[in-house]
Amino acid sequence: MRLATHVTGDGDRTALLVHGAMSDHGTWHALEADLVDRGYQVIGVDLRGHGRSPRGDYSVAALGQDLVDTLPTGADLAVGHSMGGLALSLAVERLRPARAVYSDPAFQFTGASAAALDAMRHMVTQATVESVRAMNPRWSDADVEAELAGFAAFDPDFFDVVTEASAQDRMPTTAVVPSLVQLADPSFTVDEDGARLLAQRGFTVRTVAGAGHCIHRDDYPAFLASLEGWL
């Protein structure tokens, strides 16, 4: 499936940004601006079921294939958050970016209960500025606005992918390209044993102290600092 893309900047280097579930490309607004300032052309996608991309036929495998169908090969940098990180890991061998960053990726997002999924559905359908702010007190006004926009353009049937993803461990077997795994503190998508295993498999692993799952919104300066040497 060809995904909706959003291109910013005209630099000589190319960066690919892949958001997580229930968001869209707008979640990357701060990083996008920084990358453009650093001389990148930035290509953000909306995953299937999100933003302006098509709906339907949801599966974990399809998320990776969509990136291959949509994005250029050989980019200088690719960044994926959460479910977008999982999607990137499934596409990286074919996309072959020079560097890949997986921000709190959904590699070990196991055991999502029906109650948890129901709570996420309710969060999306009933979201207000006040509810998003209450759940995420450290987010900027722009982050809250982007979250609400992502919720408004999200297909709840995508939760089928969340259920599938949580049914088994999806740790990559090797770092196909130079790869950073950036973890929340604590991470509910990669546990301590998983972090050690990723390091053994060739990934650089860094934890952002005190940051929640959406590291780039909870503490953007610390998020950026943890990317030193990768941008």
All structural domains of the chain, each given as residue ranges with its CATH number in brackets, are 5-226 (3.40.50.1820)
User: pLDDT class for 74, splitting at 50, 70, 90?
Assistant: very high
Helices and strands (DSSP H and E) totals, the chain: 10, 7
The predicted-structure confidence for 93-143, as pLDDT tens digits, reads as follows: 999 999 999 999 999 987 667 787 788 888 999 999 999 999 999 999 999
Give the residue-averaged pLDDT of 138-154. 97
Pairwise CA distance, residues 139 & 126, whole Å: 19
Per-residue pLDDT tens digits for 29-58 = 999 999 999 999 999 999 999 999 999 899
* 148, pLDDT greater than 70: yes
73 or 188, which is more confident? 73
Mean per-residue pLDDT, 184-205: 97
28: left (phi over 0), alpha (psi -120 to 50) or beta: alpha
**How far apart are the C-alpha atoms of 2 and 199, rounded to whole Å?**
33
